[in-house]
Amino acid sequence: MGRRKENSTNSLNEKNIMEACDSVYSICKIGGRWKMLILCELKDGKLRFGELRKNIPGITERMLTLQLRELEKDMLVSRIVYPEIPPRVEYELTPISRQLIPIWSVLGDWAKEHKQLVIQQLKEVAV
Amino acid sequence: MGRRKENSTNSLNEKNIMEACDSVYSICKIGGRWKMLILCELKDGKLRFGELRKNIPGITERMLTLQLRELEKDMLVSRIVYPEIPPRVEYELTPISRQLIPIWSVLGDWAKEHKQLVIQQLKEVAV
DNA sequence: TATGGTACTAACAAAATTGTAAGTAATGGG
DNA sequence: CCCATTACTTACAATTTTGTTAGTACCATA
């Protein structure tokens, strides 16, 4: 993983900020590069490791594994291993991560507005 | 700032993901280490640079400047310079970032639930 | 002339995240 | 025995973010 240093200023700052501000805490939990995308993929049901990889262009097996591990640790996905060969592993959302689904759509709406604004701004600058 | 490379896999991935998924886009905009905290501070009105620094323990002048510059570029704060000596600069939320305020509280509520869950989990493991 | 206050910048260093490339294990089928 | 399949690991390197320290500009005031 590239282990984090327990007592770096960086780590301590993050910890303090997460304790000080709940919305920062939430954003930290879903803030990894690919996490949101993974969660969105799982919105409609279980998927296997390989399916996730195929559905998320650009992600490597390593990053997929890392992000899934963190999501699992944070109880945002659950991992179901079938004792078969070749291996089969499925991932699915947990109750707590399902509670986030409506928030995603609100964030999505905000994004659309923001993008509009950026476009407007570009036009104004051009004129 | 430590300039980003335009064409690194890293940059391109981020760009693609933001285009592919609107909620990722939103989270990117508010995902910097101190951004959320800064925005929260500004929730109740304008603040000067020095006030922000005092109100946010642990932040350095450099980080405060960097994060404010990005927020400004993304139109999430506006910067008001008074031509005085010593200088006076005030920051305030913009209409588009004010639209985020209700989302913060929802994220905050989710954080509280998640923290509860983590505590429960710790207890179960201990037993 | 020296000092203080304010909002920054610049050069550098450390830390953290992300990406690349090459493996591993287990077993059924040819 | 060799290969294919699947879900991973491992070692390393590049990139990005964050932190440290020491400046800068400006003018009023002592």
What fold characterizes domain B32-126?
A: Arc Repressor Mutant, subunit A (1.10.10)
Predicted pLDDT of residue A11: 97
Predicted pLDDT of residue B2: 60
Residue B124's pLDDT band (boundaries 50, 70, 90)?
A: confident
> Do residue B111 and residue A23 have CB atoms under 8 angstroms apart?
yes
Domain ranges of chain B: 1-30, 32-126
Would you say the C-alpha torsion A46, B22, A24, A99 has a positive or negative sign? negative
User: Is residue B13 pLDDT above 70, yes or no?
Assistant: yes
The integer distance in angstroms from the CA atom of B92 to the C1' atom of D7 is 49
Rg of chain B over all Cα atoms, to the nearest angstrom:
18
Q: Which residues of chain A have pLDDT under 50?
A: none
CA distance A30 to A26: 7
Predicted pLDDT of residue A126: 81
Contact B126, A45 (CB under 8 A): no
**Is the shortest CB-to-strand distance from B33 to strand D under 7 Å?**
yes
- Strand-pair partners of A89: A81
Residue B116's Cα: distance from chain center in Å? Answer: 24
User: Is residue B1 pLDDT above 80, yes or no?
Assistant: no
Predicted pLDDT of residue A125: 82
Architecture of domain A31-126: Orthogonal Bundle (1.10)
Of B31, B100, B111, the CB nearest to A110: B100
